[in-house]
Amino acid sequence: MRMTINDIQNRKDIGEKIPMVTAYDYTAAKLVSKADIPLILVGDSLGQVVLGHDSTIPVTMDDMVRHTQMVVRGTGTQHIVSDMPFMSYQADMEDALRNAGRLVKEGGCQSVKLEGGLPVIETVRNIVDSGIPVMGHLGLTPQSVNQLSGYRVQGRDSISAARIIKDALLLQEAGAYSVVLELVPRELASEITGLLDIPTIGIGSGLHCSGQVQVFHDLLGLIEVFSPKHTKKYANLFVDIVQALKNYADDVGGEKFPTENESFGIDKEILEKAIKFSK
């Protein structure tokens, strides 16, 4: 049975930290599952990491449904959260509910995540009331990157910090089961975590959140030049993979691959008969 939102809440209640990884396909999800990480986010950051865009803005509902399906197929007991992409919930509540339903019904996830505070509170409430768990997202909200003037820490002045606190409390009141705090000062994230009954999941927001989320590709060093401050590389697979591919190319060029071990044979007499029959 997959982890439920009650299981996630129980971890917060007993003080057990919650690790979460953002993954986008079957293979990555399988690896995360093998590591016994309980939560997987199918993030709309696939726009940059997988699709090669410069932001999350171009990601579509069809993209999110398809990648959610991949991740679900690669997992067993993990709770899968799927991002609602830009303009899938901002236009009206009917649209938002329909799209959240697609991610659960077609994609197979157990909950959805959407960005923002006060402007989306009634949308969150409506989705939750319809039986779909919602994870909120405050601080740096990548879908609003144009309005925020880039990817930068949020809540560094008293007015914006107060707004994030208020929005977190509003999301909890609306029924969100958890809130992601992205690029929020660690002291502010700690304060919000203490104020909320529901778990906070931090990304670049310090140690005192209820859990942490990082992108699969960032953790493993799969991207050559992208290494944000809030990410710790636990491996440097980009270098290893490039070297492995070079070794393969060298073996092909030097006729060292394939050997008999990587090939299949046929009886000599059968081959001779086949040649005769073909003439």
Shared domain check, 194 and 154: yes
How many domains would you assign to the chain? Answer: 2
Q: Which residues are catalytic?
A: 182
Look up the domain containing 220 and give its range.
Answer: 5-235
Shared domain check, 141 and 79: yes
Mean pLDDT within 207-219: 97
Shared domain check, 268 and 166: no
Shared domain check, 253 and 230: no
Give the contacts of 204 (CB within 8 A, at least 6 positions apart).
140, 153, 182, 183, 184, 228, 229, 230
- From the list 155, 244, 219, 149, the residue with the least C-alpha distance to 192 is 155
Shared domain check, 161 and 59: yes
Mean pLDDT across the chain: 95
- From the list 232, 39, 56, 51, the residue with the least C-alpha distance to 141 is 56
What tens digit of pLDDT does each residue of 160-177 get? Answer: 999 999 999 999 999 999
Shared domain check, 231 and 261: no
What is the distance, to the nearest Å, from the Cα of residue 101 to the centroid of all Cα atoms in its chain? Answer: 19
Q: Which two tokens stand for residue 76?
A: 């067993």
Shared domain check, 184 and 231: yes
CATH number of the domain encompassing residue 219? 3.20.20.60
Q: Tokens 């092909």: give the residue.
A: 252
Shared domain check, 247 and 136: no
- Report the distance separating Cα 123 and Cα 88, nearest Å: 11
What tens digit of pLDDT does each residue of 185-206 get? Answer: 999 999 999 999 999 999 999 9
Q: Which two tokens stand for residue 131?
A: 């039986």
Shared domain check, 73 and 11: yes
pTM, two decimals, is 0.94
Instruction: Please state whether beta strands 211-215 and 200-203 pair in parallel, antiparallel, or not at all (unpaired).
Output: parallel
Do residues 24 and 42 lie in contact, with contact meaning Cβ atoms separated by under 8 Å?
yes
Phi, psi of 272 (to 5 degrees): -60, -45
What tens digit of pLDDT does each residue of 74-122 get? Answer: 999 999 999 999 999 999 999 999 999 999 999 999 999 999 999 999 9
Shared domain check, 121 and 25: yes
